[in-house]
Chain A
Amino acid sequence: MQPPPGIPAATFSAALREFAAIVGAQWVFTQAEDVATYRDAYSPFRNEPDEKVASAAVAPASVEEVQQIVRIANHHSIPLYTISCGRNLAYGGSAPVYSGSVVLDLKRLDRIIEVSEENAYALVEPGVTYFDLYRFIRQRGMKLWVDVPDPGWGSLIGNALDHGAGRTQLPYRDHYDAHCGMEVVLANGELFRTGMGALPAAQTWQQFRYGAGPFIDGMFSQSNFGIVTKMGFWLMPEPEATLVGHIRCRRHDDIKPLVRILANLSYSGLLNCQLPILSPPFLGALDEAKAALLDRPDGGSAQEWDDYAASRYPHFWQTELRFYGPVPVIEAQWNHVKGRLAEIRDVQLEDGDLTRFPLTDEQVDAVADPAVVGIPSLAVFSSVRGNSGHLDVSPIIPFSGEALLDAQKVFAQAFRRAGLPQKLGFAMSYHWRSFILFQGLWLTEDPRENARLRRMYRQLIRLAAGRGWGIYRAHAAFMDDVMSTYSFNDNALLRVHETLKDALDPKGILSPGRYGIWPRALRRERS
């Protein structure tokens, strides 16, 4: 058992004994085979000396136990790395950012504290998964949906705090935006609640998020200023039905009016679904002609791409819209969208399935894409079969066809020059008013190949930032790289983060290094 860096073995042993006195010896993990289960299964440093690993793990079962663990850690200056369910694969999983930290595993805080059907919200602890809340609601026949991410085995709290998202409608699919109220443990063990939760007799903790005074919930997402032990979420009333509309466009430049019209409908509140935009020519195999286009400085003109695609693909762009609500309403919405899109020459608009709810268990199991109807699954792992995990580089792109075209070519060219296959490469509007243009990197068992992928990850971060496209979420190994691109006014934002860190956690015990926020004593660790 290796103590955290700089911590004497005797001090570490004393802290572990004190942890055990709080949670029970069976919930303090120090044996190598147990601690190894906290490794990042999708580490880009797999089996290399630089892989970030824990020194031990401790798993409290209540908020009081969390407070006591934190006080002990603070006393002994033991770095803790907090995980909710530890399933944030591709972004670091259950492994610490700072090697040698003790993982504070909140999986045993797994209580669904309250679900209100009438006012459509839930209050949960960090160990509650999307599967758990879905099952809780379904077993009680409540007419509520949970927006779920791909995949659904993670924590509602953990996912929201890392700005994760699902694929139903706004505002529910942006999981942080759909939260209302937090309970937080600070580095000194103090407990507080945000928003209306600070009112001792609160009646609207999950219905009005501001309370009075500063709205500080955002400080606890993608950060290390505190440990969130409860969080409220707004849920979506089960719709009567969903209706799908398929859209296909023939030409390269059709994306410009397509996004302009759909964005306007979204801003107007007439379109709440997310926009998954795929381009078969961009996503298709790299042949000689496509390589020649990408090798041009401008990545190929519209006419050249149209000429390229004409003999290979039936259409240049495709998307599908999904409407949620009463049948007459969603049919009217789709008809309105069709009318607006008719200005795009040769656009194909096809009515898709109308699905009514609730579904039987058999119907649930037969849904082809469960997340779009709020059903948790692990199906997304079928997309990464045959490799050793993956990383996502996730740049935020402006909500315009022009920007999407630019980004498609910039990233396709980058992969072409690197000699790497471009994975994913499709646009999603998980969060309102922007696209994420996912770039996937498939990990291997070969350290040399993984080193190449790490270089590519960093290159894509810099490339995106140079164009003004920030990465919205990062694997633990690249948090410093990503945060270094948010450098306006000589890294003023980072200095604000560090000022807050020093004030709230002067010993720097909470998740050192998370999202580039290092405590004073460890700032040399910044990569």
Chain B
Amino acid sequence: MNSARTLVLLTLIGVTGAAGAPRALADSTNSPGSSWSRVGTTADQTIQDAAVARGREVFIARCQACHGDYPRDTKPALFRLDPMPGTRALELRYHGTVPALLEQRTDLRPELITHVVRHGIGSMPMFRPTEVSDEDLKALVQYLTRQQHR
């Protein structure tokens, strides 16, 4: 966080935090970065490689909401949608010849991962550097190809 940003934040806390009601106020640890995860990340202590560990965080933050696993026994609803569109699309595409869960794939090429993230495919849009930085994209590649390096 740069100094200008810190100053803004402190100023805001001073202004908006003046009342006595219970509140959660932002601090330097409350906004570690935006993500599309409902639960956030927890470290996997079994991963030794820092890039792979970061790649796992990126996957949870940016990929898992579409490409995660999902319970198969959800109840019917008026608008019943497959909870993981990415996983379901790969199930339908590959019919089990390769795992539908990206984290279980052992055949993903780095250039394919990079291309799909930056260009999109089908109804999956492309992702900007402000969402997945070049460094994080490299880490994601490391994570999704980790089993190929063993």
Contact = CB atoms under 8 A, between A and B. Distances in A.
Please indicate whether A and B come from the same complex rather than being unrelated chains.
yes
B131 to A, nearest CB: 6
Interface string B114-130: 00001110111111111
A57 B23 CA distance: 35
A132 B66 CA distance: 16
B85 A385 contact: yes
Interface stretch (A69-77, A260-268, A324-332, A386-394): A386-394
A108 B8 contact: no
Contacts of B38: 131, 134-135, 138, 361, 364, 375-377
B117 to A, nearest CB: 9
Given A113-B12, A365-B71, A377-B83, A131 B36 contact: yes
A361 B130 contact: no
Contacts of A61: 2, 5
A389 B80 CA distance: 20
A489 interface: no
B26 A37 contact: no
A367 B126 CA distance: 28
B130 A108 contact: yes
Given A29-B129, A386-B122, A131 B37 contact: yes
A381 B34 contact: no
Interface in B97-128: 118-120, 122-128
B43 interface: no
A494 B85 CA distance: 41
Given A361-B39, A375-B38, A110 B31 contact: yes
B123 A132 contact: no
Interface string A109-134: 01111111111000100011101101
B79 A367 contact: no
A368 B76 contact: yes
A62 B36 contact: no
Contact of A114 (B16, B71, B75): B16
A132 B130 CA distance: 16
A115 B8 contact: no
A111 B31 contact: yes
A39 B31 contact: no
Q: Name the residue among B2, B31, B71, B75 with the largest chain A CB count within 10 angstroms.
A: B31
Nearest to A27: B130
B24 A142 contact: yes
A55 B95 CA distance: 41
Nearest to B19: A203
A378 B78 contact: no
A127 B130 CA distance: 10
B78 A41 contact: no
A48 interface: no
Interface residues of B, number: 62
Nearest to A154: B36
Given A37-B127, A107-B131, A387-B122, A62 B26 contact: no
Nearest to A353: B75
A201 B39 CA distance: 35
B21 A369 contact: no
A42 B125 contact: yes
A369 B23 CA distance: 30
Contact of A112 (B30, B118, B126): B30
Interface string B4-19: 1100110011011111
Interface in A122-161: 123, 127-129, 131-132, 134-136, 138-140, 142, 152-153
Interface string A19-49: 0000000010100011011110110000000
A115 B24 contact: yes
A298 interface: no
A140 B88 contact: no
Interface of A: 27, 29, 33-34, 36-39, 41-42, 57, 59, 61-65, 85-87, 89, 93-94, 105, 107-108, 110-119, 123, 127-129, 131-132, 134-136, 138-140, 142, 152-153, 201-203, 205, 276, 278, 318-320, 353, 361-362, 364-370, 372, 375-390
* 7 nearest CB pairs, A to B: A41-B125, A382-B82, A381-B85, A368-B77, A379-B81, A107-B130, A382-B85
16 contacts: A37-B127, A42-B125, A61-B2, A107-B131, A115-B24, A116-B21, A116-B22, A118-B22, A129-B36, A131-B35, A135-B39, A365-B71, A366-B74, A377-B38, A378-B85, A382-B85
Given A375-B38, A377-B65, 8 more contacts: A37-B128, A42-B123, A61-B2, A112-B31, A114-B24, A117-B22, A118-B23, A386-B122
